Chains A and B, each alone.
Chain A
Amino acid sequence: MRVATNQNTGRRSFLKVLGATGAVVTAGLLKPARSLAAIAWPKEAFNKEGMEAAMKAAVGTTDMTEGNVSIEAPTIAENGAVVPITASSDLDNVKRMHVFVEKNPAPYVARFHMLGTGRAEVATRIKMGETSPIRVVAETTDGKAYMARKEVRVTIGGCGG
């Protein structure tokens, strides 16, 4: 809860700054944007219904070890449209982290690629249609998958609403 509160405060002051200054654009200081090929967006996995099918499409397996991954999220979320979540792992060879909401119509929410971050930790805000476990999977460079699960109670659903 403490983290969530801090983030909310940070976001509010952040929004103020946004309104005041707009985007920081420093044209001319950089060379023309280098075209770096992006990783393909996983359309099929995002469309999958049902947790098992989504996980299989996203990670390639449902065989994973529990542990080495943590999820920070509120136990009770008043508004399912905005649920703050922090996903992290204490492993030093995480290449990718996946976020799922088991009871969302399409459970696969997002994935994050750690290409040169130095730490496997990401935070964002997600939509939850109803009370559901959140699942985070961390994939390591040696081809293993680790998992954590946390139940979040939603009082007002946030999908399509």
Chain B
Amino acid sequence: MAKTGTARIRVGSAQKGQPTQVRALILHPMETGLRKDPKTGEKIPAHYVQKVKADFNGERVFEADWSVAISKNPYLSYYLAPQSSGKLKMTWEDNQGGVYTAEADVKLG
């Protein structure tokens, strides 16, 4: 089974200055803190991604703030309008101190 925090980014074909779609997925339980373990009856502690950051060539281009109401294994898409080829780095941070990153190359066509 794949591990919490395993992440993947896909970037569409990019043209200079044109918005291109970025799609990102991370494996994460997104536990609300309200669910009970069916076996023990005990509450499962909240464990969810709160912050997503995207940096393109070291510059912040996008950020997201999430509550517990984002679904398990969160999917996210947004746009990027690159002026040059470069590297997109994404970071996901959860409420238990977990920090996960993934990178993707962006090449202008």
Contact sample, A vs B, 19 pairs, CB 8 Å cutoff = A7-B75, A14-B10, A18-B8, A36-B53, A39-B63, A39-B65, A41-B51, A109-B69, A110-B67, A111-B65, A112-B62, A115-B61, A115-B62, A118-B80, A124-B70, A125-B71, A125-B75, A127-B32, A160-B34
Mask, A8-51, CB within 8 Å of B = 1, is: 00110011011101111110011101101011011000100000
Measured CB to CB, the residues of A under 8 A from B are 7, 10-11, 14-15, 17-19, 21-26, 29-31, 33-34, 36, 38-39, 41-42, 46, 81-84, 86, 101, 104, 106, 108-119, 121-128, 158-161
How far apart are B47's CB and chain A's nearest CB, in angstroms?
14
Residues of B within 8 A of A101 (CB): 69
**Contact (Cβ within 8 A) B102 A23:** yes
How far apart are B103's CB and chain A's nearest CB, in angstroms?
6
**Contact (Cβ within 8 A) B103 A114:** no
